[in-house]
Structure formats: structure tokens, C-alpha cells
């Protein structure tokens, strides 16, 4: 790394990009540039279209405040209290932010953060995603906005699919072209995301247009998945159009007032969750941006040369089940119906129940759903990569939050990864006394992985090493809860 000293707080800095010069500021010893457009505003003729480059500008453009966020609504209660979701007005939502030790540095590793939110919520303006700690530790942190909901992932006969994914690819192309001016190495880019952000990265790993734009990838609490381009993929779009009384085409919906479109989207998609289902938006196998199912592609060797860090939280389900009361409200009868719907083998259910004496039907269903949707596919990807040119590392986050009995729930690990436990949104999930030493360990692992591909524990092999981040001190676990994992269909034939 360069020995150029960090800039002095309170000063301003200018950096030239391919589209024009931007002015940032220095905060807490690192340089910050916010709201830089990486694509043109997706309005007018560009609405429901693939992203286009931004118009170049003359002079110096201020990059001092977060740019507009994609059209969205806050999370529904009670999640709105646990997951703050800032809204910044404006049309130019295709923007990004950069935190860097100094633009005068050279060759620094780069981490590009893709936020989660079920492809309906979230933005790069969430305080939890502050990149100061990464820049402090020698990593250039880039966080991006992309189109959400029907604007980004609605399926139409007259518009390209996966527009939000195309936005992410455009942002990565911007990083490739511009990040050296901010001190980063364009050949040392790690793309990192949580939940829908991780699912997006699973698709990027299988997307030909994203090849060569990143060297490493981190998937937090999201597994590669996509829907075939059929009736199920079109369902949410068609329901929104029906509610508005228009055809389910991009042309018809482009004429709808954006506020009315957003209101209809909220009405159609409310009431579900990633675990319980409901009307939602998904990445689709469109034969163009995404030629095939990303999980199948990765199992067949796609992205072999990309280093992967993947993992989940041990009680993901509690973010949705506990605040809603489902952990106590779900009856044994409804549990049996759910197990039949998802074709969970009886022997598998008995194993999970034996390992959780006293668990309610809701807690048992949550544990099964967490593994079915996350741990099983992530382990399958790891198993398929034993001959890959890139390294593969797995982790599990297990520190239990005392807040509302949330336990080691979905999204809890983010404040530890970013070393932002003091932020109000981190406190909302983890409480005021979350262990800083665990954040130190987890953040350091992500920094190390971005720099070298080695987060500090053994790569995946036949012994199935998993780094456990809590409870207690971080420790490597060998094949944790393997008897549960091998109760699922992909593994039963090999058991």
C-alpha cells in the first residue's frame, strides 16, 4: 500500500471521473464522495429501459450528500422500527458513494456493497452501511443504488428484464473505469451484498456481462436463485397492472403516475416475507442478462476463478417470525401443512426437532426454512467448488441479539461487518451492548478477504470448515449440524 498520509478532516477534495470532476469531503480521516451518478436518471424515455451512461458535466459537481434513492415505501410495521430505510427524493437514483483512505493512494482493494431489502426496500443511504471503517483499514468502499420493485424487476413483454441487475452491472462497469482515480485497484474488486444483495451477486456470478468486473464475491444471507421467465415471474407485475386498470406492459405503466404505481405495488406485495412467501419480485432467467439458473450455473462450474465468501445467520427466521408473533402463533397443524407443501422429509423434521427440545412449531418451521433457503444451497455451491481456481470460505453468524428475543436473526451481522455498531439502526437490532470484539474480528475478516481472498480460516474442503462468529469467541467449526444438512434431498443420496 502507498505511504501517502490520509487527508485532514474538514478539507474538500476533487477527483476526475470519465464523466466529470466531483468534489468530496474528508470525514473522520477518510475521503467521502456521495451521490455520484453512474447512469442517467431512469425517467422519461429511459423508464423501464436498460441503464444509459450519465450525461457528462462541466466544472465541478458536488458529491457531498447521498443521491436520490429508488422509489420505495418503508418497511411495514413492526419491521420499520428495526430496519430504518431513508428516502431521498429525486429522479437520479442510479448513483453511488465512495469512501477511500485518500484519492492519492494507489492499488487499494475495493469492496462494492449491494444492499438488500427483498428487491423492494433499501438504499446506499442506510447509516449502517457507512464505509468509514473499511477506508480506515485500507479498503475503498463503494455502495450503490439500483432500481427496485416494478421499476427494476417487473417483467414486461416490451422491456428488458432484470433492469435492477443491469443497474448493478453498470455500477460495476463504472467502478472498473473510475476507481483508480479514488485510490482503488480495478483488478482487485470484491462485490459484497446481503439478502437480496447476495441473491443479486449470485446472479452476477452467472451473468456473462458481469464477467471480469470483480475478482471476489461475498454472499451474506442470500443464495443464488432465480425464477424461469414464465407465469410465476410475471404474476406480481400483472397483479399491479390489474389493480391500476391498465395492461401489464412497460408502455402502459410508464404512463401511470409514479406515486400511484408505488401505492399499487405496496398493496400487492404487503403481507409476505422471504420465508413465508407472498407476492414479490425476483430475478428471472431471461435468456439474455441471465442465460440460466444461477445456482445450476455455479454447480456446473461458473465463476470458477472468483474467490467466494458465503454464509448465513443461525436464526435468520427470527427477524420475521418473532416480531409478528409467528413463533408462538403457528399451530402444530399449520406446521404439518407447511412441511407437506415444501416436501420436507419426516426423518429430517425429526432430526431438527430432536436437536431443539422445547422448540415451538414456529421455531421449528423457521429453522427448517432457514436451512432450506440458505444453508443447503450455499453448502452445495461450496461442495461443487472443490476444484475451482478461486477459493471458497464459509461462515455462520451466531451471536444472539437480546432485542425482542431476535436471536441471531437476518441482517444482524451487517453492523459487525461494517464496524458500525454505534449507529442507531445497528442498536435497533443488536442493542447498545453488542460485543465490539466480535465486530473487530468479523470486519477484519472481510478486509482480509477483499485484499487477499483469505479471510483467516481454512478454505472449504472435505472437512467442511465453517467460521463461527459467536456466540462466544470466533472459532472454526467442522461440519456443524451436518446431520441436519444431510437430511435434505440434495444430500440424502450421498449420506
Query: According to the 3-state scheme, what is the secondary structure of the chain?
Result: CCCCCCCCCCCEEEEEECCEEEEEEEECCEEEEEEEECCCCCCHHHCCCCCCCCCCCCCEEECCCCCCCCCCCCCCCCHHHHCCCCCCCCCCCCEEEEEECCCCCCCEEEEEEECCCCCCCCCCCCHHHCCHHHHHCCCEEEEECCCCHHHHHCCCCCCCCCHHHHHHHHHHHHHHHHHHHHCEEEEEEEEEEECHHHHHHHHHHHCHHHCCCCCEEEEECCCCCCEECCHHHHHHHHHHHHHHCCCCCHHHHHCCCHHHHHHHHHHHHCCCECCCECCCCCCEECCCCCCCCHHHHHHCCCCCCCEEEEEEECCCCHHHHHHHCHHHHCCHHHHHHHHHHCCCCHHHHHHHHHHCCCCCHHHHHHHHHHHHHHHHHHHHHHHHCCCCCCCEEEEEECCCECHHHCECCCCCCHHHHCCCCCCHHHHHHHCCCCCHHHHHHHHHHHHHHHHHCCCCCCCCCCCCEEEEECCCCCEEEECCCHHHHCCCHHHHCCC
pTM of the shown model: 0.96
Average pLDDT over residues 358-382: 96
Higher pLDDT, 271 or 370: 370
Of 312, 410, 443, 484, the active-site residue reads: 410
Model confidence band, residue 2 (pLDDT cutoffs 50, 70, 90): very low
Minimum mean pLDDT among 49-58, 272-281, 362-371, 483-492: which range? 272-281
Is 115 marked active-site? no
Of 124, 195, 221, 314, the active-site residue reads: 195
Task: Tell me: pLDDT of 3 over 50.
Answer: no
Is 121 marked active-site? no
pLDDT, position 8: 56
Tell me the CATH architecture of domain 12-313+384-462.
Answer: 3-Layer(aba) Sandwich (3.40)
Is 410 marked active-site? yes
Domain extents for the chain? 12-313+384-462
Of 151, 194, 316, 484, the active-site residue reads: 316
pLDDT per position as a tens digit, 135-168: 999 999 999 999 999 999 999 999 999 999 999 9
pLDDT, position 210: 98
Task: Tell me: pLDDT of 58 over 60.
Answer: yes
How much of the chain, in percent, has pLDDT values that exceed 90?
A: 92
Task: Tell me: pLDDT of 86 over 80.
Answer: yes
Averaged pLDDT score across all residues of the chain: 95
Task: Tell me: pLDDT of 383 over 90.
Answer: yes
pLDDT, position 228: 96
pLDDT per position as a tens digit, 112-141: 999 999 999 999 999 999 999 999 999 999
Amino acid at each position: 500500500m502507498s505511504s501517502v498520509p490520509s487527508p485532514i478532516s474538514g478539507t474538500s477534495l476533487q477527483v476526475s471521473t470519465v464523466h466529470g470532476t466531483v468534489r468530496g469531503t474528508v470525514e473522520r480521516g477518510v475521503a467521502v464522495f456521495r451521490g455520484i451518478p453512474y447512469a442517467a436518471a431512469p425517467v422519461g424515455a429511459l423508464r423501464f429501459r436498460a441503464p444509459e451512461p450519465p450525461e457528462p458535466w462541466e466544472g465541478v459537481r458536488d458529491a457531498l450528500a447521498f443521491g436520490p434513492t429508488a422509489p420505495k415505501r418503508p418497511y411495514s410495521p413492526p419491521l420499520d422500527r428495526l430496519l430504518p430505510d431513508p428516502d431521498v427524493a429525486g429522479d437520479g437514483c442510479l448513483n453511488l458513494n465512495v469512501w477511500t483512505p485518500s484519492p492519492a493512494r494507489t492499488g487499494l482493494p475495493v469492496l462494492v456493497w449491494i444492499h438488500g431489502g427483498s428487491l423492494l426496500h433499501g438504499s446506499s443511504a442506510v447509516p449502517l452501511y457507512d464505509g468509514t471503517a473499511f477506508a480506515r483499514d485500507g479498503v475503498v468502499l463503494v455502495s450503490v443504488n439500483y432500481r427496485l420493485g416494478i421499476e427494476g424487476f417487473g417483467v414486461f413483454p416490451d422491456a428488458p428484464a432484470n433492469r435492477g441487475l443491469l443497474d448493478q452491472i453498470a455500477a460495476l462497469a463504472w467502478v472498473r473505469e473510475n476507481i483508480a482515480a479514488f485510490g482503488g485497484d480495478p483488478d482487485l474488486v470484491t462485490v459484497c451484498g446481503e439478502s437480496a444483495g447476495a441473491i443479486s451477486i449470485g446472479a452476477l456470478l452467472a451473468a456473462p456481462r458481469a464477467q471480469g468486473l470483480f475478482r471476489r464475491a461475498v454472499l451474506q444471507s442470500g443464495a443464488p436463485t432465480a425464477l424461469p421467465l414464465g407465469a410465476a415471474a410475471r404474476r406480481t407485475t400483472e397483479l399491479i397492472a390489474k389493480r391500476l386498470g391498465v395492461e401489464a406492459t412497460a408502455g402502459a405503466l410508464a404512463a401511470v403516475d409514479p406515486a400511484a404505481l408505488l401505492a399499487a405495488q405496496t398493496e400487492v406485495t404487503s403481507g409476505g416475507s422471504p420465508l413465508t412467501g407472498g407476492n414479490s419480485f425476483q430475478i428471472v432467467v431471461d435468456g439474455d442478462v441471465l442465460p440460466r439458473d444461477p445456482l445450476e450455473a455455479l454447480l456446473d462450474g461458473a465463476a470458477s476463478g472468483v474467490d467466494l465468501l458465503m454464509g448465513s445467520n443461525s436464526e435468520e427466521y427470527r427477524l420475521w417470525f418473532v416480531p409478528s408473533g409467528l413463533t408462538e402463533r403457528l399451530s402444530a397443524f399449520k406446521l404439518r401443512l407447511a412441511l407437506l407443501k415444501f416436501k420436507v422429509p419426516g426423518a429430517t423434521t425429526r432430526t431438527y426437532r430432536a436437536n431443539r427440545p422445547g422448540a415451538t412449531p414456529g421455531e421449528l418451521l423457521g429453522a427448517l426454512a432457514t436451512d432450506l433457503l440458505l444453508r443447503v444451497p450455499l453448502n452445495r455451491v461450496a461442495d461443487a467448488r472443490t476444484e475451482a481456481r478461486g477459493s471458497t470460505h464459509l461462515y455462520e453468524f451466531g451471536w444472539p441479539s437480546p432485542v425482542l428475543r431476535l436471536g441471531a436473526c437476518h441482517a444482524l451481522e451487517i453492523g459487525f461487518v461494517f464496524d458500525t455498531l454505534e449507529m442507531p439502526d445497528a442498536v435497533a437490532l443488536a442493542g447498545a451492548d453488542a460485543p465490539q470484539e466480535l465486530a473487530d474480528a468479523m470486519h477484519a475478516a472481510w478486509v482480509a478477504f477483499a485484499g487477499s481472498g483469505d479471510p483467516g480460516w481454512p478454505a472449504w474442503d472435505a472437512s467442511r470448515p465453517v467460521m463461527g462468529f459467536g456466540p462466544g469467541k470466533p472459532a472454526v467449526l467442522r461440519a456443524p449440524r451436518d446431520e441436519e444438512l444431510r437430511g435434505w434431498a440434495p444430500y440424502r443420496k450421498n449420506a
